[in-house]
Structure formats: structure tokens, C-alpha cells
Amino acid sequence: MSNNISNLISSIIITTITITKMKKKTKKSNKDSGHTSIKAIVLVVLSTLFTSFGQILMKYGTKNMGSFNEIITNVPLISGFIIYGIAAVFLVMSLREGHLSVLYPFIALSFIWVTIASIVLFNDYVSILNWLGITSILVGVSLIGYGAQHE
Amino acid sequence: MNNGLFITIAITIATIIGSFGALFLKLGSSRLNIQFNFKGLMSIIMNYRLILGVFFYGLSSVFFLLALRVGELSVVYPFTSMSYIFVTILSVWLLKERINRWKLIGIAFIILGVVLVRI
């Protein structure tokens, strides 16, 4: 009788241990495969938008900076720096939620935003090769996004 | 030292340092404590990985500016797409992230794209 009870107790203990082990394992594997979330991708895209906006403001600001006074009263330049800082915050928030090897290449999107802005704001000339480049960046970023979801 | 060699060396150093910057930002970001109080603020200020990441980014832009003093932007900029290769190597090597053929082809397209956009 006592033998039976001890058998029962030991089997219960063993099953609980295996279940907790399995739970730990699934938890760990979930975290490991931790697919880069859509939230992370949205955050990194926002970060590139802010980076490009900051760059454009800085480019605009560098037009008139001779003396020290002109630099510290240069509103576009200073707001460009502040927007750069905001972009960095978005980047760090994004990196929390996903893999670096997936999110880092998305930074290349800023090339596209800057090119679009230079067409709209500065009337810059964009060659066919440049357009091919933009297409290539978009294809590349899409492939990385696809690769991240199909591991 | 001729200009071409100087630009190549300066940009290679800049991109390697910049890639470590991205690595440290990633390492620091997972240790952040997002709270709008003193403790949360301290977790940002005392996060040496995050500070190191920002520092490396700053240092890489110094080397980038050195290269820009010698070469034109359209020549210098495409070189910076080396950073996509370095970041991928670092994240596979040190962060144990997995890479597959889609990601590799994607990186190749992005590098091609960056070169073409800046031509």
C-alpha cells in the first residue's frame, strides 16, 4: 500500500518536472525564434523617416552658418539635430522588439525618403539609374522582411 | 598615401566602428527599463552599452567626414553600404541570429540600390 502511494507520488513529481521542463523549453524556443514583430518594423521605418527629415533640415541649415552666433541661432540646424535624436529613440525602441540583422537593413529606406524629398523640395534631377537604385532597395528590404517571417 | 587608398581605409574603419555602434545599441536596448520615473531614467543613463553605441556612431562619423574631405559624396557614400555586411556578420557571430538565403539576397539588393541611388 505504502509502496503504491510512493509510486504515485514519484510519478506525479516526475510528470510535473517534465511538464515544467517542456513549458520552459517552449517558452525559450518562442523567445529564440522571436520573429521580428510588425511593431519593430513600423518603428524602424518611422526612425528612417525622422532621420531623413533631420538630414534635410540640416542641409537647409548649413546654407548659412559662418559665425558661432549663426550656428547656435540656426533653427533648421538645431531642429535637425533634435529630430535626429528622436530618430535614435525610435531605432532603440525598434531594436528591443526584433533582430538586428533584420532591422538594420531597413535603415537603407532613408535613401528613398531623402531622394523623394530632394525631388519635391530642391527640384533635384533623378536619373534612371537612381530610380533603379530605389527599386533595388525596396526589393531588398522586402526580401529581408520576407526572410524574417519564413525562418 | 594616394587618395583612393585613404578613402577606402577611412570608410572601412568608419563602417566597422558604425556596425559595432549598431550592435551595442541592440545590446543596450534589451536592457532598457521603460518607465517614466527616476528608475527608468537611470536605466537609460547608466546603460553603458547604449552610451557606447552612440559613442561608436559618433566616432564612425568622424572617419566618414575624414573620407569626405578627400573624396566626393557620390564616391564615398556607396562604400558605407559595407555596413550592411558587417552588421550581418556581427549579428550572426555575436547575437546568434539566424540568416537565410532571402536575407542574403535582400542585402545584395540593398547594397546595389545604395550604390545606384548615389551615382
* Residue B9 one-letter amino acid: I
Domain parsing of chain A, residue ranges: 1-33, 36-149
Q: Return d(Cα A33, Cα B14) in angstroms, integer.
A: 31
pLDDT tens digit at each of 119 positions of chain B: 678 888 889 999 999 999 999 999 999 988 877 666 777 777 777 888 999 999 999 999 899 888 888 877 777 888 888 899 999 999 999 999 999 999 999 999 999 998 898 77
Q: Which three cell numbers stand for residue A148?
A: 524574417
Considering its fold, how many domains does chain B have in total?
A: 1
Whether B89 and chain A come into contact, CB under 8 Å, resolves to: no
Picking from A137, A149, A150 by the largest number of B CB atoms within 10 A of its own CB, the best residue to mutate is: A137
ipTM score here?
0.86
Q: Tell me the torsion sign for CA atoms A62, A65, A70, A71.
A: positive
Distance CA A3, CA A5 (A): 5
pTM, two decimals, is 0.78
Name the residue range of residue B82's domain: 3-117
Looking at beta carbons, which pairs linking A117-124 to residues 24 or more positions away fall under 8 Å? A117/A52, A117/A53, A117/A56, A118/A56, A121/A56
Yes or no, beta carbons of A143 and B105 under 8 Å apart: yes
